Amino acid sequence: MRILSISIFCLLLSLNSTKAQKPIYLDVNQPIEKRIENALSLMTLEEKVAMCHAQSKFCSKGVPRLGIPEVWMTDGPHGIREEVFWDEWSGAKWTNDSCTAFPALTCLAASFNPEVSHLYGKSIGEEARYRNKSVLLGPGVNIYRTPLNGRNFEYMGEDPYLSSRMVVPYVQGVQENGVAACVKHFALNNQEKERFTVNVEASDRALYEIYLPAFKAAVLEGKAWSIMGSYNQFRGQHCCHNDLLLNRILKSDWKFDGVVISDWGGTHDSDQSVNNGLDLEMGTWTDGLTTKGTSSYSSYYLANPFLQGLKSGKYNEKLLNDKVSRLLRMIFRTTMNTDRPYGKFISPEHSEAARKIAEQGIVLLRNEHQTLPIPVGKYKRIAVIGENATRSLVIGGGSSSLKVAYEVSPLEGLTKKYGIETIVYSKGYSSEITENNAKSKLAADSLIQAAVEVVRNADAVIFIGGLNKNYFQDSEGDDRKSLALPYEQDRLINALLTANKNLAVLICSGNAVEMPWLSKIPALAQVWYLGSEAGNAIANILSGEVNPSGKLPFSFPKKLEDNAAISFGKISYPGDGKKEEYKEDILVGYRWFDTKKITPLFPFGFGMSYTTFEMTKAITDKTIFTSDDVIKLVVNVKNTGKMKGSEVVQAYISEIKPTVLRPLKELKAFSKIMLDAGEVKQVELNLPVKDWAFYDEKATGWKINPGRYTINIGTSSSDIRQRVNVQIKK
């Protein structure tokens, strides 16, 4: 009895002592760096190492003894992934993990609206926070280099400036919720084909001018708390442990203080993982997609091999402390942040945000004879044709696949808008018909014939097709095999035209497609993957309730060989099995088309409206500037049509007599404005001259040549309405 009393007394004394000496890392009033230092001093070597690698498919260890929580991650970037079993990829069959699906990031980029990007980040961040996630694995900002890349739909287009302006508010919106945005995939991850092995060789100019700016903006301006490495190699080192990318550029040059997380299965070596900038190893010894069963988490490259190397003196503990400091910093910013909001899930506000983003991103590409809009009541019978009118486009595609609370299909949205008595539907084609045999041919013929019969007596036809999230379409894991529409859609469209020429074509995709029938159809829109509110957004645009205002974030080539990467042959894409050379260098997208005088099918930045706009009186505050100046440019924009609408004013700069290869023009500013019919607004654009620099490989730094430049102001890379010449002095 006496021994028990002494034990209880000692326990109470210990508890009182602990209370009196509260660890600094728990004191939210202390600076984060001091809290990190204190936590590190209390951790064992084993506890530190355990924080540097996964303990399940989507979480890593904390330190339970010290009250430091685990780090829980979730796939994005378009919605919060369903819960999965601890060590499996399959869903855990929860009943409360269905999310709101937001539009794919190609749609967000097409909005050309940073305010909408902030709304996106804030909304998806709220859903991640409600589900108690520490890290949202997104957004993606890899550059659209080839239209065959299966994962382009997850990214923000071909232009580094546009991607930079759109990623910053997204990151800020997510992190306002106490959730770390994880910007991916760093870097040069521009294809899915051979993604685990391809070794990219690109010039320093291409690296710094094209492929890094969006990541740099996310870090320096967005203050991103984490970054994910990519699967591919760059100059012979895998990007998840690449000394140049992670140590020298990200952590040294950009002073990134967050966590570098490996892509799942992207880690290959203990020495490089320890020394070359990786902080948290996830998914090793899985293929990143389908492998099930117990993973040897203790045998990860940053697990026991790291621990044994530290104990033997092979590795410096300073490297470990740096990794753990970064993880603690992220934990204190997220899970252990007492001011962290509670978030919300599948709320009316999120549905409204998803619809608004979708409406702002839909791009009208053709509208002969004012075929669109189709006001409610104009026609008695509207035929809707195409599998994508009813197919779920939030399921599949790899890690972006979602379990959603609801999804309004295009057919549902159109039926709700125009009435069940007006809309008639026929499938027209099927993605299940893939075999080139007589039976499949007969099935395809039957679908086409049935669709033709439906449209014969219709007043208008809306075809909803494009790609889907199947393998070899818009999907993680491999690339498309051609630029053409799959599933005999070209044949279907031509058949529909023979029966009814009043045809509007809607393309659901995250990539450009060939359009051999383009000159025959009166109306065309790029409608992307729009998420939960797809049908409502499409119906609002087609009916004219909302005026389309999206602009293409990448160029559409007329044929595949017109694309820069493809034009140089296999060594440039997809590589020869050992390496891949980015032979187009800095001439990506419209930079290639403009400079090489190749006419695209549709240019970067292009998008029509139901109204018309006029630009006049473009002037700058002066005409001679230095590299430290910010040029203030103003231009008058007038809505010359009869309907309220938005226009995107785009400013591209051209160096008149460059001393090195420069693109014919480069986007350096844009602004989206709303105008009532007949209204005139003066739009002001700020253009920092320092942003006009090129990367000088000889001097290994940025350089601005003195001389004459032209500022081109227009509504796309090909539609220039005003020009202003300026002089940059030494």
Is residue 586 within 8 Å of residue 205, measured between CB atoms? Answer: yes
What CA–CA distance (Å, rounded) separates 590 from 587?
8
Angle between helix 160-175 and helix 114-130 axes, rounded to 10 deg: 40
Asked if 188 and 200 touch (Cβ cutoff 8 Å), the reply is yes
**Pairing state between β 363-367 and 523-526:** antiparallel
Structure tokens at 728: 């940059």
Task: Check whether 1 has a pLDDT greater than 90.
Answer: no
| CA–CA gap between residue 388 and residue 467 (Å, rounded) | 8
C-alpha 120/C-alpha 167 separation (Å) is 10
Q: Is the pLDDT of residue 574 over 90?
A: yes
pLDDT of residue 523: 98
State the pLDDT at residue 442.
73
Which whole number is the average pLDDT over 359-379? 97
Return the minimum-mean-pLDDT range out of 112-116, 295-299, 315-319, 352-356: 295-299
Confidence label for 440 from pLDDT (cuts 50, 70 and 90): confident
pLDDT value at position 89? 86
CA dist 673 to 649, 678, 723, Å?
A: 8, 14, 20
pLDDT band with cut points at 50, 70 and 90 for residue 76: confident
pLDDT value of residue 3: 41
Look at 137-151, 319-333, 427-441 and tell me which has the smallest mean pLDDT: 427-441
Residues 529, 506: Cα–Cα separation, whole Å: 11
Predicted pLDDT of residue 15: 44
Using a 10 angstrom Cβ sphere, with 0-12 exposed, 13-18 middle and 19 or more buried, the burial of residue 320 is: buried
CA dihedral 55, 57, 58, 60 (to 10 degrees): 10
710: β partners = 654, 725
In sequence order, the β-bridge partners of residue 326 are none
Q: Given the DSSP bridges, would you call strands 135-137 and 226-229 parallel, antiparallel or unpaired?
A: unpaired
Superfamily for 613-728? Immunoglobulins (2.60.40.10)
- 269 catalytically annotated: no
Is the distance from CB of 252 to CB of 234 less than 8 angstroms?
Answer: no
Residue 6 has pLDDT above 80, yes or no: no
Paired strand residues for 510: none
pLDDT, position 8: 43
Residue 58 has pLDDT above 80, yes or no: yes
DSSP H or E stretch at residue 234 = strand 233-234
SS (H, E, C) 407-418: CCCHHHHHHHHH
Beta strand pairing call for 503-508 and 523-526: parallel
Compute the average pLDDT of residues 170-178. Answer: 98
Residues 620/622/626/632 CA torsion (nearest 10 deg): -30
Residue 424 has pLDDT above 50, yes or no: yes
CA distance 476 to 473: 9
Average pLDDT, the chain: 94
Ordered by start, the domain boundaries in the chain are 363-547, 613-728
No. of helices (H) and no. of strands (E), the chain: 18, 26
- Residue 520, pLDDT > 50, answer yes
Residues 208-237: tens digit of each pLDDT: 999 999 999 999 999 999 999 999 999 999
| CB half-sphere exposure, 426, CA atoms < 13 A | 19
* Percent above pLDDT 70 for the chain: 95
Tokens at 314, concatenated: 């092979």
Over residues 81-87, the mean pLDDT reads 93
- The SS3 assignment for 100 reads coil
Counted residue by residue, the chain has a size of 730
**pLDDT higher than 60, residue 286:** no
Catalytic residue among 75, 97, 159, 263: 263
- CA gap 519, 304 in Å, rounded: 63
Please check the confidence at residue 83 and state whether its pLDDT lies above 90.
Answer: yes
* Strand ranges for 138-192 from DSSP E: 180-186
**Total-model pTM:** 0.95
Q: C-alpha distances in angstroms, 9 versus 6, 14, 18, 20, 410?
A: 5, 9, 14, 16, 70
Question: Does 294 have pLDDT greater than 60?
Answer: no
Q: How far apart are CA 568 and CA 379, in angstroms?
A: 49
Share above pLDDT 90 across residues of the chain, in percent, rounded to a whole number: 91
Specify the pairing of strand 666-675 against strand 701-703: unpaired
DSSP secondary-structure letter at 389? Answer: G
| Structure confidence at residue 634 (pLDDT) | 98
Task: Please tell us whether the domain made up of 363-547 is placed in CATH 3.40.50.2300.
Answer: no
Question: What's the burial of 70, exposed, middle or buried (CB within 10 Å: 0-12/13-18/19+)?
Answer: middle
pLDDT tens per residue across span 392-414: 999 999 999 999 999 999 999 99
Residue range 7-33, pLDDT digits in tens: 444 444 444 444 446 799 999 999 999
Instruction: Count CB neighbours of 522 within 10 A.
Output: 18
